[in-house]
Amino acid sequence: MAPAVRHFLQFKDLSRDELGHLFTRTRIIKDRFKRYQPYHPLADRSLAMIFEKNSTRTRLSFEAGMHQLGGSAIYLNTRDTQLGRGEPVEDAAEVISRMVDAVMIRTFEQDIIERFAAHSRVPVINGLTNEYHPCQILADIYTYIERRGPIQGKTVAWIGDSNNMCNTWLQAAEVLDFNVHISTPPGYEVEPERAGLFGTDHYEDFADPMDACRGADLVTTDVWTSMGFESENAQRMTAFADWQVDDDMMRVAALGALFMHCLPAHRGEEVAAEVIDGPQSVVWDEAENRLHTQKALLEYLLLGRIEE
């Protein structure tokens, strides 16, 4: 019997051991890329990228990444494919997965990507859903490790909305054994079931964002209004006003604490300009590492464990 196809739909789809392998491969692939050494293990392979929401980083990193690995990427969106005219997602999955070697999807409900994957012959990668953003957290954790070493036992402060990024940090904390200190405005708290958590051991809620940041090794946040929630924008601007990551929050974090943001950012809303543009911010490395971590992910899902 052929081995089951591996997907990356949620962060916990990969084990701690597999993530360790991906981070090792990321370092090797990134180093090779920086030295202009060609590496084309995915020659003749192609990736379909389906976007139902906007993107700069995700599209660019997957498209450039496939090209750099010797393969190609095909961009599809809802506007000009039959997906936007009501073709069932299951039928689309049957067809698309007969023509390419992997599929990346950015969409709304997680259920859509789960249904696609259930009918796909090839690996499906979550490029962001309302619930999760696992590729971003791969890059974020790699960036932490690159700067500071192992993340196990460390504390990440999450300030703001309990959105797709927050849920994925929480899953990652369970898999990689670190802690998340969360502060959200009332009414925007984490929903453990929606976050897909096994328990509550790896996170703690704080009413005051300053308390969540105290002693943290990494402080991170994201937009107050995620894609798909635009109708709530005005209400959110008021509710989140005291949840801006500023210098005071960074000052109470651990010495040498890093600041991350998945981008795009809104200076003066979820983050003060002096923080995102300040010395503790690693947001540009974080964005670049989307490219390198996803190349390791594509290599692993398409070719298995390469040791060299």
Instruction: Give yes or no for residue 226 binding ligand NVA (CB under 6 A).
Output: yes
Query: Which residues, numbered 29-48, are part of the site for ligand CP (CB under 6 A)?
Result: none
Contact flag: residue 163 with ligand NVA (CB under 6 A): yes
Q: What is the H or E stretch that residue 155 is in?
A: strand 155-159
Residues 247 to 306 in contact with ligand NVA, rule: CB under 6 A = 262
Name the 3-class secondary structure at 150.
coil
> What residues from 5 to 64 belong to the interface with ligand NVA (CB under 6 A)?
none
By the 10 Å C-beta count (0-12 exposed, 13-18 middle, 19+ buried), 37 is classed as exposed
> Could you give the dihedral angle defined by the CA atoms of residues 176, 251, 259 and 272, in that order, rounded to the nearest 10 degrees?
140
Q: Tell me: does residue 262 bind ligand CP (CB under 6 A).
A: yes
**Is-contact 77 131, C-beta < 8 A?**
no
Residue of the chain from 10, 136, 171, 226 that contacts ligand CP (CB under 6 A): 136
174 near ligand NVA, judged by CB under 6 A: no
Q: Is 171 annotated as catalytic? A: no
Whether residue 262 lies in the annotated active site: yes
Judged by beta carbon distances under 5 to 8 A according to partner kind, the member of ligand NVA, ligand CP, none in contact with residue 56 is ligand CP
Shortest Å, Cβ 269 to ligand CP = 16
The residue from 59, 133, 202, 292 that is catalytic is 133
Rg, C-alpha atoms of the chain: 19
Measured CA to CA, the distance from residue 169 to residue 293 in angstroms comes to 16
167 binds ligand CP (CB under 6 A): no
CB 224, CB 240: distance < 8 Å: yes
Report angle CA 53, 23, 266 to the nearest 5 degrees: 35
DSSP-derived secondary structure letter, 229: -
Only one of the segments 56-64, 115-123, 246-254, 266-274 lies at the binding site for ligand CP (rule: CB under 6 A); that segment is 56-64
Residue 222 annotated among the catalytic residues of the structure: yes
The residues that are catalytic are 106, 133, 136, 222, 262, 290
Which residues here bind ligand NVA, judged by CB under 6 A? Answer: 128, 163-165, 222-223, 226-227, 262
